[in-house]
Amino acid sequence: MVPMTASDTRTRGTDDVCCVPTAVPGLSAEEAARHVLVFKALSDPNRLRLLSIVKAGNDGEACVCDLTAPLDLGQPTVSHHLRILVDAGLLQREKRGTWAFYSLVPGSLERIAATLSGI
Amino acid sequence: MVPMTASDTRTRGTDDVCCVPTAVPGLSAEEAARHVLVFKALSDPNRLRLLSIVKAGNDGEACVCDLTAPLDLGQPTVSHHLRILVDAGLLQREKRGTWAFYSLVPGSLERIAATLSGI
DNA sequence: CACCTATATTGACATCCATCAATATTGCCG
DNA sequence: CGGCAATATTGATGGATGTCAATATAGGTG
């Protein structure tokens, strides 16, 4: 194998060399672990639908009982998903009387889009 | 409980009613299932780091042997993650000689950002 | 062809996660 | 206070997933 340093800027082709670590390490393990929390929250189809329904709801909010029927899921499961979305910073909860109303955290989706660019 | 139709535009408060399905159903189950594939691919810290290293690599590409060491993972595991990223449409693979070079699919991150807005 | 290197695939295993049933909590109303 | 309605929590369970060891494939070189 031909030796090749990290500062070598040649494009590597078939007859060239490989396995030269780049100078830029990319995302650290800590940054990656932080970013992944949001994507994990988005990694369930029912949670995507929850976000969608909440966003489309009256005044941009919806209560749990609005969300159980369209998803064909039990109430505890919906509460579970909502908790994950709140923990990820995507939804916020406001209790009014017996009901809990969920709404999008302003700017949260835009913040995720920015995270994507920074990857 | 006070009856309330779906076309009622009042804001629901403590002394009001709940459980009125919205006219707009939000994301369908099929759309959600399709969108979730990409977010699942982004839901692993090592895969985020792979994307980051590939993007920062020389000519925006990197081969598998560039990726094994910084992640402290075995080569089969790295290949496994790369496959998931390719299947999700985030990376593309080009084989040159013995080596396989991976690079970002142009516009893929921007497309995900657009997906987020459409949720 | 024989051998080596880089990458991919397979199988096994431990862990995580979505879901539900059952139960607890909270708040309203009589 | 007693009861009811809405939501949250807990425990259990089946299925998905990340990881590795072992093996297979493909391409280059002698």
Digit-coded pLDDT (tens) for B92-109: 999 999 999 999 999 999
The average pLDDT across B60-74 equals 94
Asked if the C-beta of A13 comes within 8 angstroms of chain B's C-beta atoms, the answer is yes
The spacing between the Cα labelled CA in B48 and the C1' in C6, in angstroms, equals 23
User: How far are the Cα atoms of A116, B11, B47, B63 from residue B111, in angstroms, in the given order?
Assistant: 10, 35, 18, 24
B62 beta partners:
B102
CB contact under 8 A, B58 and A9: yes
Average of per-residue pLDDT values in chain B: 86
What six digits make up the tokens of B57? Answer: 């690599």
Reported confidence tier of residue B2, pLDDT bands at 50, 70, 90: very low
Q: Which domains does chain B have, with CATH numbers?
A: 29-117 (1.10.10.10)
Per-residue model confidence as pLDDT tens digits over A89-110: 999 999 999 999 999 999 999 9
Q: Is B12 on the interface with A (CB under 8 A)?
A: yes
**Chain A neighbors of B5, CB-CB under 8 A:** none
Band (pLDDT 50/70/90 cuts) for residue B22 is low
DSSP-based three-state secondary structure for B66? helix
pLDDT tens track for B27-60: 999 999 999 999 999 999 999 999 999 999 999 9
B104 touches strand C (CB under 7 A): no
**Chain A interface includes B43 (CB < 8 A):** yes
Residues 71-90, chain A, touching B (beta carbon < 8 A): none
Q: Cβ separation of B19 and A51 shorter than 8 Å? A: no
Percent of residues, chain A, with pLDDT higher than 70? 80
What is the arithmetic mean of pLDDT over A49-63? 96
